[in-house]
């Protein structure tokens, strides 16, 4: 067994997760494929969203897959970095906006 949690080679094995639960695995991949098709949003637009979300959820497999995919679909380095900034801004803002909760609490107990 490998001695680290993340292994780039494991990304290629993603499709094997159905080994332990085929029906759910099949449904997931069918749904996943549907999500990323051209529809109200283009596959290209979805790919850039996926880059941003991959960073927000900090999934190295997703970052690997969608950095390649978005670049292949023609997004520039600057556009991809701006998408990451959007993810970071939302994550930063999400932490910071809870500061209001902290303020509410402190104001409630302070003299």
Partner 1 sequence: MKSLKAQGHFLSDSHHQIDVLEHGEPGKEYRLVPFQQNMERITLFPLKPTGIEIFQVNVGKMCNQVCKHCHVDAGPDRKEIMTRDTMQLCLDTLRNSSIKIVDLTGGAPEMNPDFRWFVEEIKKLGKHIIVRCNLTILLANKKYNDLPEFYKQHNIEIVSSLPFYTADRTDRQRGNGVFEDSVKALQMLNTAGYGVEGSGLLLNLVYNPAGAFLPPSQNALELEYKQALRSKFNIEFNHLFAITNMPIGRYLDYLLQSGNYETYMEKLTAAFNPVAAKSVMCRNTISVSWDGFLYDCDFNQMLDLPVDCKQSKHLSEFNLEALNGRNIVLNQHCYGCTAGAGSSCGGVVTE
What size, in residues, is the chain?
A: 111
The position carrying tokens 């998408």 is: 83
DSSP per position, 56-67: HTT-HHHHHHHH
73 binds partner 1 (CB under 8 A): yes
Identity of the residue, 58 or 79, whose beta carbon is nearer to partner 1 in the bound complex: 79
Report residue 40: phi and psi, to 5°: -60, -35
Minimum distance, C-beta of residue 104 to partner 1, in the bound complex (Å): 48
Minimum distance, C-beta of residue 73 to partner 1, in the bound complex (Å): 5
Segment 26 to 45, residues that bind partner 1, using CB under 8 A: 38, 42-44
76 binds partner 1 (CB under 8 A): yes
- Distance, in Å, from the CA atom of 46 to the CA atom of 111, rounded to the nearest integer, reads 51
Minimum distance, C-beta of residue 72 to partner 1, in the bound complex (Å): 5
């Amino acid at each position: 067994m490998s001695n680290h949690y993340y292994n780039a080679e494991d990304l290629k094995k993603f499709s094997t997760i159905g080994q332990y639960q085929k029906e759910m695995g099949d449904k997931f991949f069918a749904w996943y494929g549907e999500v990323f098709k051209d529809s109200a949003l283009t596959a290209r637009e979805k790919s850039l969203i996926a880059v941003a979300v991959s960073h927000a959820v900090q999934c190295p497999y997703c970052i690997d897959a969608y950095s390649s995919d978005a670049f292949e679909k023609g997004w520039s380095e600057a556009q991809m970095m701006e998408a990451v900034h959007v993810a970071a801004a939302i994550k930063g803002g999400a932490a910071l906006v809870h500061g209001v909760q902290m303020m509410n609490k402190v104001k409630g107990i302070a003299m």
